[in-house]
Amino acid sequence: MRFDAIVVGGSYAGMAAALQLVRARRRVLVLDGGQRRNRFASHSQGVLTQDGRDPAAIAADGRAQLLVYPDATWRDDRAARVARTEECFEVITEGGDRFQGTRLILAYGVVDQLPPVSGLWERWGRTVLHCPYCHGYELNRGELGVLATGPMSMHQALLIPEWGPTTFFTNGALMPDADQRAQLRERGVRLEEVPVSAVKGEAEVCLVDGRSFSLAGLFVASSIRPASDLAAQLGCETSDTPMGAVVKTDARQATTVPGVFACGDLARGAGSVSLAIGDGAMAGTATHQSLALPTP
């Protein structure tokens, strides 16, 4: 059976895309490897009507609602290879299954990469955080920190004081110039240039000179890489962002390869459940219209 569209990635963006298509009575296959980017977080804030809910519960509800539609098919399997034929796209899964789709939506997300500081990964998504809009309010204006990873961290250090008193740990990742130091002072940010040795406890930043800072939360601008090489297999162009490369799309989430769309964290530099759902809805409607309407 050939599907009208194959969606690779069944998290928020992928499900939102698939929902638009099945509501247009198109046959859709969702392939999902089960690795949501926000699987480490216990609450998802800032999502309208879902504020504060467990992100796993939001995803489970989305899947259940999607699979009510008879044209939706779900497979718990990862797409390993993809090729374009004259008439469609063929996707081969890690389990060895082959599926064909007239259109392809890439929504398999990205993988976060953190600096090699002991204790970061164990606290990622709980007290080591990436987005103040997702997590800042719950820190209750406590003492906060920003651990530098590169140029993006300067923007983060200037922004985080909105949520609480902030210390900027440069950790050898960047050296603020005179203008940047003046901006930090104006924002009331404490600058700490002694390297960080570890993060312990809830969010205790320990320096190599023996000092430590007990924080309510530590923000880190992770770098990202695609969670799969499928876009590269197809020849999709990428765009550079301060966090890493993402798949290049137009305003309707179309990639540079005809018939291929991309959405969610894979196609933008910043991650958010709300933005992923919006991108997915756009990708789904654009995919449907590419199937339904003649090419201009």
Residue range(s) in the chain whose domain bears CATH number 3.50.50.60:
2-111+224-292, 115-220
Give the bridge partners for 28, in sequence order: 5, 72
CATH for the stretch 115-220: 3.50.50.60
260: its two tokens? 């291929």
Whole-number Å distance between alpha carbons of 272 and 258: 27
Strand partners, 246: 239
Is 5 within 8 Å of 102 (Cβ atoms)?
A: yes
Q: Would you mind telling me the total number of residues written for the chain in this entry? A: 296
Domain 2-111+224-292 has CATH 3.50.50.60: yes
Q: pTM to 2 decimals? A: 0.94
Question: pLDDT 10s per residue in the chain (296 long)?
Answer: 799 999 999 999 999 999 999 999 999 999 999 989 888 888 888 898 999 899 999 999 999 999 999 999 999 999 999 999 888 999 999 999 999 999 999 999 999 999 999 999 999 999 999 999 999 999 999 999 999 999 889 999 999 999 999 999 999 999 999 999 999 999 999 999 999 999 999 999 999 999 999 999 999 999 999 999 999 999 999 999 988 999 999 999 999 999 999 999 999 976 789 999 999 999 999 999 999 997 76
